[in-house]
Amino acid sequence: MKPVTAVLGAIVALVAVVGLWFMTTYNGLVSRQEAVKGAWGQVQNVYQRRMDLVPNLVETVKGAAGFEKSTLTAVVDARARVGSLTIDKTLLEDPAQFKKFAAAQGELSGALSRLLAVAENYPSLKATENFRDLQVQLEGTENRIAVERRAFNETVIAYNVAIRRMPADVVAGLAGFKERPYFEAEPEAAKAPQVRF
């Protein structure tokens, strides 16, 4: 009877160790997954800040005599496209939807950059305190967006690595942890800007 008891004891100990490992690994992956959601919340927060600033900026610029309507229209249209996207938890789980969201945000960033560049041609607009304040807030928001996107990407990379590493990938597969998309540079970012004197 002693050998049977020893074998049963070894099996129970092995099951306990494997169970403890599984539980610890699972909890670690849950923590990383929640970190991704938290980082995503921060990205959404700064994007919302920008969305709130755009109407004030557009109204301020509309008052400038002769301001290029096509530039304003591009900003308003880009903001509308961003606002029309449904943002819910599935966005982080669907790379195609995430890419569409990132592209819409990129369009809005580009339209706002063009608006601020065109505003340079309107000294009376640049001289207004309201426009200067909005410009500073918008530039600060764009910097915050870059910081939060970087933090989000770092969190997603850590999560994606954790679910793909052996042996945690077994737990991730069994528990349904899926790889998350991250922000990538737009293809236009690879092109050097042309500078003419």
Q: Is residue 182 part of a domain?
A: no
Q: Is residue 122 part of a domain?
A: yes
Q: What is the reported pLDDT for 193?
A: 46
Nearest partner of 57 among 174, 135, 151, 149, judged by Cα: 135
Mean pLDDT across the stretch 88-92? 78
Task: Categorize the per-residue pLDDT at 197 as very low, low, confident or very high, splitting at 50, 70 and 90.
Answer: very low
Mean pLDDT is lowest, of 11-25, 74-88, 140-154, 158-172, for 74-88
Q: Is residue 15 part of a domain?
A: no
Q: What is the pLDDT of residues 23-46, one digit of tens each?
A: 999 999 999 999 999 999 999 999
Whole-prediction pTM = 0.81
Q: What is the reported pLDDT for 186?
A: 66
Mean per-residue pLDDT over the chain, rounded: 86
Contact 181, 98 (CB under 8 A): yes
Q: What is the pLDDT of residues 117-151, one digit of tens each?
A: 888 888 877 778 888 888 899 999 999 999 999 99
Mean pLDDT across the stretch 65-79? 82
In total, how many domains does the chain have? 1
Rounded Cα–Cα distance for residues 161 and 29 (Å): 10
CATH number of the domain within which 118 lies: 1.20.1440.20
Taking each helix axis from N to C end, the angle separating 2-62 and 69-84, rounded to the nearest 10 degrees, works out to 150
Q: Is residue 140 part of a domain?
A: yes
DSSP one-letter string for 123-135: HHHHHSHHHHHHH
Q: Is residue 26 part of a domain?
A: no
Tokens 């920008």 map to which residue?
Answer: 50
Full domain range(s) for residue 127: 31-167
Mean pLDDT across the stretch 152-178? 95
Report percent pLDDT > 70 for the chain.
92
Q: Is residue 194 part of a domain?
A: no
Q: What is the reported pLDDT for 66?
A: 67
Q: Is residue 183 part of a domain?
A: no
Q: Is residue 98 part of a domain?
A: yes
